[in-house]
Amino acid sequence: MRGRQFASMLLATTAALSLAGAAGEASAQARKHEGVTVNIMTFTGPQIAEPLQRRAPDFEKATGAKINVITVPFSDLYQKLLTDWATGTNAIDAAVFAPQWMVDYVAAGLLEDLTDRVAKDTALQVDDIAPFFREFSQQYGGRTYLITLDGDFQMVYYRKDHFQAAGLKAPETWDDYIAAAKALHGKDLNGDGQPDYGSCIAKKRNAQSYWMISSIAGAFLQSKGTSQGGFFDTRTMKPLYNNEAFGKALDVYLETTKYGPPDEINLDVGDTRALFTTGRCALTLDWGDIGTLAIDTTTSKVVDKVGSVILPGSREVLNRDTGKLEPCNPTLCPYAVNGVNHAPFAAFGGWSGGINKKAPAKVKDAAYDFISYMSQPAQSNVDVTIGRTGFNPYRISQFKNLELWIKAGMSEAAARDYLGAIEASLASPNMMLDLRIPKNQQYQQVVLDTALARLLAKEIDKAAAMRAIERGWEEITEEVGRDKQLAAYKASIGAK
Amino acid sequence: MSSHREPSALGRFLERHADQILIWPAVLLLLAFSIFPTIASATLALSRLDLAPGGFTLTFVGLRNFQRLLFGSQQDHLLGTMAPLGPLATGLWLAAAGLVLVGIARYVVRNLGREPLALVVGLFGRVLAALLFLALLALVLSTNAPGGFPGSLVTTLVYVLGGVSIQFLLGLGLALLVARPIKGRRFFRVVFFLPLMVTPVGIAYGFRMLADTGKGPLAPIWQAFGLEEFAWAADPWAARIVVMIGDTWQWTPFMFLVLLAALETQPKDQVEAAWLDGAGPWQVFRFVTWPAIAPVAATVVLIRLIEAFKIIDLPNVLTNGGPGFATESLTLHAFIAWRTQDLGGSAAVGYILLFVAVVTCTSFVNFLAKRARGP
């Protein structure tokens, strides 16, 4: 009896000491950022902002730092940050934004260099972050300025059930995509008795249309590896968006409109995702978000009915020496698979967190810890499986651990399909990188976006759209300096 | 017995300079919030902003931002795609030019006896307004000819001239209706006033939902008319009309409210006398009511003109300026340039807007409002 009493007392004492220890540890951590407030800006969302807002109270409880998430519309985010930081207002301490913009922010000396912090941060497990995001999205000029929170690649999603019923295969080329969209357009895809759409692509102006066209164009423009680049000729910095190959990409882009919703040119990705997950579209082109939104049983009508594939390719590509669209051969398309050139487009590059260089030291510390906390596997491995977070997989462990996805509601086959498409994109030696040179916002969001919008609205024809893009891009290049832009472009894609 | 004390030196100083002391705070506020930003934006309009270590640099580029907008790669965006004028449009423009010339000639003939400086200044203003009017008319006609497409300048003029005219007519009609002794007058006054209190972004989102023919709250009605597949956002004029409907819904109450106040203050005895003399409703309105409310009407239209030039929320939320840039106003044009780091281009668009708005509103005051107000 005494022995039992003693054992019980020992157990109780040990438990009490453990709790006290934990409390002590917690209070020690709490002291670390006690009284610090971090103003962190991102876009309105609800994606991206949601996980930050949801996890901020837990972080505050653990460290004492108050995280104040400020949201602005996506189209305003770049300029809001720039204005706040460049004018010395510095009301924003950190931000979650596009790695593309890093080139402008770093050039102006606005971003904190995180290289040393990341090197010392074992909890971040930086080696688990896939090399593309670790070495490209997070870094500029060999230094780390950002921490990846989201992995972004554009892929094609299709309705597996209807493809099988119609005897169609997953699209391998853009011609296959068009053929499938045409075959399924007007069919009832969700059983409501109404005809649905063959293809849904976000084509709204001032939204995401300029990424969509580059996802299509990549297959026709870039065939000799990532360092060849898909936007400019690395010899002259002349735009690649006015030639036979880009014309073919525009043909595909315009053709998909025939099989889309009537108001497709006023739809952004929020709209097309809603249409696809409610079963109204046979095909769509999007980032990884569809994979997790499709398994959300509260909103999705296509649970376990969705297939994902690497961006379709082309059997013809641009020969930069002749300026013509020519059939693939081993010289022209060294990375072609079955004679098809794929150029998966790393559109946007994934939402990433960075810190204002002018923020007070204590705030920088708290901001870093919060961004790192968000990226650490304990948090991110859960967040990437939830559709509403907008976070897509970017860690090696997230690709390897199927259990994560099965637990989230995906079937094993769907998980393999989804992760396989992302991995295939990541592993491609011909991955097309997004534009990351000074004034990339003007090249893409103004010149390219406007020309596309006018083309879709039938204000101009294909040739005029290509001329407008070339003229606008050349004007910006000349303004900033051709040599400077060429050097920046080559550095951004690893060209020699 | 009361003694008169001499004011102190400070008191005397204050008394002597009271006018300046009272006016300077207002002048300083005006300088701080209006003049200095105008100068700063003029600097920006002539510069290019580049990011550089430590923040940014401004490089003087002269009129390059304006050149790009008026003659360079942005010409389509600002002015639109111009097509050759057909015979009808050419005839219309020539007729307008003839009328303008006659108007200027009449002005010169009538004012020959005036002081030369006043005549020159008056003539200069009229010639400037006439040139701008004829240039804008040519632009409107050529961008609406087959093969042409309006840019943000013409779209803004459509919103301003079309929208304000419709709002004025509707506001006047409602005011005339509610000014009559009808049942539920007070209720209608409040109801008609409500849209003015809603924020423009709220109105834009509201109209976006209402105009959604596929899944909006009015979808069953659109579908009953067979419009479920009608994509208004894909049709330039349909999209512009939806923007104008939203703007009209918001601003008609303003016209209504001011015109109602004017109607209620007009002398009743004149109206009654006109009725007794056997005048019909139209004659009463034309010869009694209109002269009484015309000065107020001119003022309210002027206020709306100035405001209408700044339209941004509705096209931004409803269509993002699309399809193409069919619904993009000058303010939205400037905003899009601003948020993509083209601050010089944005300021240049702002200055073009300022020029067009000032000349239009000044011309309205000189040629229409003054006549409406009477001598």
For residue A310, the SS3 value is strand
The identity of residue B88, as a single letter, is L
| pLDDT given at position A17 | 42
In a mutational test of the B interface, the residue from A208, A275, A446, A460 whose CB has the highest number of chain B CBs within 10 Å is A446
CA distance A238 to A240: 7
| pLDDT given at position B165 | 95
Does a structural domain hold residue B162?
yes
Give A137-171 as a DSSP string. ISEETTEE--EE------EEEEEHHHHHHTTPPPP
Does a structural domain hold residue B24?
no
- Whether B256 and B117 share a structural domain: no
Among B105, B124, B147, the domain boundary falls at B147
Residue B88, Cβ density class (10 Å: 0-12 exposed, 13-18 middle, ≥19 buried):
exposed
A108:B322 CB<8 A: no
Does a structural domain hold residue B196?
yes
| Identical fold between A34-145+352-389 and A155-348+412-493 | yes
Under-70 pLDDT residues of chain A: 1-31
Window A:269-328, CB contacts with B under 8 Å: none
Contact A447, B74 (CB under 8 A): no
- Whether B212 and B308 share a structural domain: yes
Question: Distance from CA of residue B292 to its chain's centroid?
Answer: 24
- Whether B278 and B202 share a structural domain: yes
Quote the pTM value: 0.82
| pLDDT given at position B112 | 83
Paired tokens of A13: 């004492």
Nearest to B73 among A82, A86, A475 (CB): A475
ipTM: 0.74
Does a structural domain hold residue B100?
yes
pLDDT tens digit sequence for B148-203: 999 999 999 999 999 999 999 999 999 998 888 778 778 888 888 888 888 888 88
Q: What is the CATH number of the domain that holds B322?
A: 1.10.3720.10
Does a structural domain hold residue B321?
yes
End-to-end CA distance of chain B: 55
Paired tokens of A359: 């923020």
B189 lies in which domain range?
150-373
Does a structural domain hold residue B157?
yes
- Whether B240 and B344 share a structural domain: yes
Give every CB contact of residue B121 below 8 A, 6+ residues apart in sequence: none
Contact B346, B338 (CB under 8 A): yes
Instruction: Tell me what percent of chain A is helix, strand and coil, each rounded to the nearest 5.
Output: 50, 15, 35
Q: Is the peptide bond before A46 cis (omega within 30 degrees of 0)?
A: yes
For residue A314, the SS3 value is strand
Domain-wise residue ranges, chain A = 34-145+352-389, 155-348+412-493
Among B105, B131, B147, the domain boundary falls at B147
B319:A446 CB<8 A: no
The reply to whether A217 touches chain B by the CB within 8 Å rule is no
B81:A87 CB<8 A: no
How many domains are there within chain B? 2
* Alpha helices for A155-288 (secondary structure H): 160-165, 174-184, 209-221, 244-258, 269-277
Nearest to A459 among B53, B81, B231 (CB): B81
- Whether B91 and B196 share a structural domain: no
- Whether B128 and B110 share a structural domain: yes
Nearest to B321 among A82, A206, A475 (CB): A206
- Whether B210 and B295 share a structural domain: yes
Paired tokens of A339: 């004679």
Q: Which residues of chain B have a CB within 8 Å of the CB of A105?
A: 51
- CATH superfamily to which A34-145+352-389 belongs: Periplasmic binding protein-like II (3.40.190.10)
The reply to whether A463 touches chain B by the CB within 8 Å rule is no
Q: How far is A176 from chain B (nearest CA, A)?
A: 26
For residue B73, the SS3 value is coil
Does a structural domain hold residue B44?
no
Consecutive H or E run containing B279:
none
CATH number of A155-348+412-493: 3.40.190.10
Give every CB contact of residue A282 below 8 A, 6+ residues apart in sequence: A158, A159, A162, A163, A180, A181, A184, A185, A187, A189, A196, A197, A198, A199
Give every CB contact of residue A131 below 8 A, 6+ residues apart in sequence: none
A446:B336 CB<8 A: yes
| DSSP symbol at A437 | S
Give every CB contact of residue B165 below 8 A, 6+ residues apart in sequence: none
| pLDDT given at position A69 | 96
Does a structural domain hold residue B68?
no
- Whether B143 and B96 share a structural domain: yes
pLDDT tens digit sequence for B115-163: 888 888 888 888 988 999 999 999 999 999 988 999 999 999 999 999 9
Residue A110, Cβ density class (10 Å: 0-12 exposed, 13-18 middle, ≥19 buried):
buried
The reply to whether A192 touches chain B by the CB within 8 Å rule is no
* Higher pLDDT among residues B32 and B306, named by residue: B306
* Higher pLDDT among residues A496 and B257, named by residue: B257
Among B128, B147, B166, the domain boundary falls at B147
